[in-house]
Amino acid sequence: MLLAQRTVAFDPATHGFAFPNAFVNVVLTLPTGAQITTAGRCGGMAYAALDYFLPGQPVPRWRPDLYAPGRVPPDSNWLAKYLYSRLHDSFFTGSAAKFVTWSLHSDDPTWVFKGVSRWTKEEELPRVIASIDRGRPVVLGLVVARSLGAIGDNHQVVAYGYERFDDGRAVVTVYDNNTPGRPVTLTSQADQHDWTASNGRVWRGFFVQDYTPKTPRILTRDPADPHARLSAGAVVKLSHVWTGLTLHSHALPYTHPGTDGLQQVTCFDGSDDNDRWSLVGPSAGVPLAHGSVIRLRHQRTGRWLHSRSGVPSPVSHQQEVSAADDGSLDTWRVELEQPGPWLAGSRFRLVHVPTGTFLHSHHGSNPRFTNGQQEVSALGTRDPDTWWTVLEIS
């Protein structure tokens, strides 16, 4: 019989990240060029999920196919950097020492210690229940290792629900960043030491991790529905896939050597009305698809996304991208990964039709020539830095 049950309004499909915990962290590069790596940023993803959930802010919902083949934001992306910093935060807490001590202790009691099983059921599970009863999810450290050499096999998740039964069985519901988009349960019978996860893992036990909130970056409070179809006339914010920054323009001219002196176009690490662009096609309302030819008009200044061969960009000296008063010749072709309708969740390239170059950005900036923001240019070849996606539709 069910004795007690409670779930906080946390939904992994809404409040968790849509990509899996498939990060590879380079912790050391040897003189030979070989790299020492560790796998995963589970603690960063757990902490960050609560950073967004607790103040009621939307978590970035970028999908793994945006980052193919790696499935996660690359290290140049602001979100990847944020998750890495929160991973470090999760290690530098008093409770994180239990990853070490519990990995070295047995499951069963000794003369001195309760052991991992009793610590979990008698001390940590009541802490989970008490917090969830107060309406607050918690970060759990899951322990499976039995030696220091295997400590990297331990894991971090967010617990947001529980059930207790009169036969001694207990179930804890978690957001496991190894299984994005759906709940995972941890179940233990009265006569069991272990906790069996519904995604196939068996854990020795768990403990509540110390957590201090941090204010996350929020690029939009109204993210685009990834299944929404783009049509001519839509006003959008576009996001550079590899760095996560937003296509932007502002009423400042380029002043670098060789420039045509037109309005700067950059990538912005925030979000404001200078990020809005209108998709102008042959007629308003026409659905757009792979191969559609459009122009992009900057909403704030009314200027058109422009490029011209022979004019160098300020940082990389590739072809400059600017905003011009006359956009009649500045057409851009939508290039998707495969033919089909242009959906907001797609990653796409914009090909400058007159020059055959690709709208491009990278993590270069210049305080003087790009107002300290990330350069946008036009590149003659396809590369990962020519991928874009839709952040917002208005």
Q: Which two tokens stand for residue 77?
A: 């992306």
Helix (H) or strand (E) holding 7: strand 2-7
Nearest-10 crossing angle of helices 42-53, 78-91: 100
Split at pLDDT 50, 70, 90, the class of 363 is confident
Split at pLDDT 50, 70, 90, the class of 29 is low
Return the higher-pLDDT residue of 111 and 131: 131
d(CA 268, CA 239): 9
Angle at 170 between CA 48 and CA 161, to 5 degrees: 30
d(CA 279, CA 286): 11
> What is the amino acid identity at position 328?
S
Is the pLDDT at 205 greater than 80, yes or no? yes
The pLDDT assigned to 25 comes to 78
Answer for the pair 172, 149: CB distance below 8 angstroms, yes or no: no
- Per residue in 33-90, pLDDT tens? 766 556 799 999 999 999 999 999 999 989 999 999 999 999 999 999 999 999 999 9
Q: Shortest CA distance to 277 belongs to which of 245, 307, 300, 244?
A: 300
> Percentage of the chain with pLDDT > 70?
97
DSSP 257-315: TT----EEEEEESS--GGG-EEEE-SSTTPBPBTT-EEEEEETTT--EEEEEEEEE-TT
> Residue 284 to residues 227, 235, 280, 287, 330: CA-CA distances in angstroms?
20, 11, 7, 9, 18
The pLDDT assigned to 27 comes to 56
Task: Answer whether the bond into residue 180 is a cis peptide, omega within 30°.
Answer: no
For the stretch 71-108, what's the b/e string if a residue is b when 16 or more beta carbons lie within 10 angstroms of its beta carbon?
ebbeebbbbbbbbeebbebbeebeebebbeebbebebe
Considering the domain 235-393 in this protein, what is its CATH number? Answer: 2.80.10.50
Return the higher-pLDDT residue of 147 and 240: 240
- In the block, tokens 């233990």 appear at 188
- Per residue in 265-301, pLDDT tens? 999 998 899 999 999 998 888 999 999 999 999 999 9
The pLDDT assigned to 194 comes to 93
Q: What is the DSSP letter of 217?
A: P
The pLDDT assigned to 385 comes to 97
The pLDDT assigned to 366 comes to 87
Helix (H) or strand (E) holding 392: strand 388-393
Split at pLDDT 50, 70, 90, the class of 378 is very high
Return the higher-pLDDT residue of 35 and 320: 320
d(CA 345, CA 89): 31
- Per residue in 154-171, pLDDT tens? 999 999 999 999 898 999
Angle at 169 between CA 167 and CA 170, to 5 degrees: 140
Is the pLDDT at 28 greater than 60, yes or no? no
**What mean pLDDT value characterizes the chain?**
93
Dihedral sign, CA of 14, 15, 21, 22? positive
Give pTM, 2 decimals.
0.93
- Per residue in 114-138, pLDDT tens? 889 999 999 999 999 999 999 999 9
Mean pLDDT of 325-353: 95
d(CA 368, CA 317): 15
The pLDDT assigned to 353 comes to 97
**Backbone phi, then psi, for 123, in 5-degree steps?**
-115, -50
d(CA 375, CA 361): 6
d(CA 94, CA 234): 50
The pLDDT assigned to 34 comes to 66
Beta bridge pairs of residue 35: 29
d(CA 113, CA 133): 29
Mean pLDDT of 200-211: 96
Residue ranges of the chain that CATH labels 2.80.10.50: 235-393
- In the block, tokens 């308003």 appear at 284
The pLDDT assigned to 190 comes to 81
Is the pLDDT at 327 greater than 90, yes or no? no
d(CA 115, CA 104): 10
Mean pLDDT of 333-347: 96
**Contacting residues for 325 by C-beta, under 8 A, at least 6 apart:** 302, 303, 304
Helix (H) or strand (E) holding 85: helix 78-91
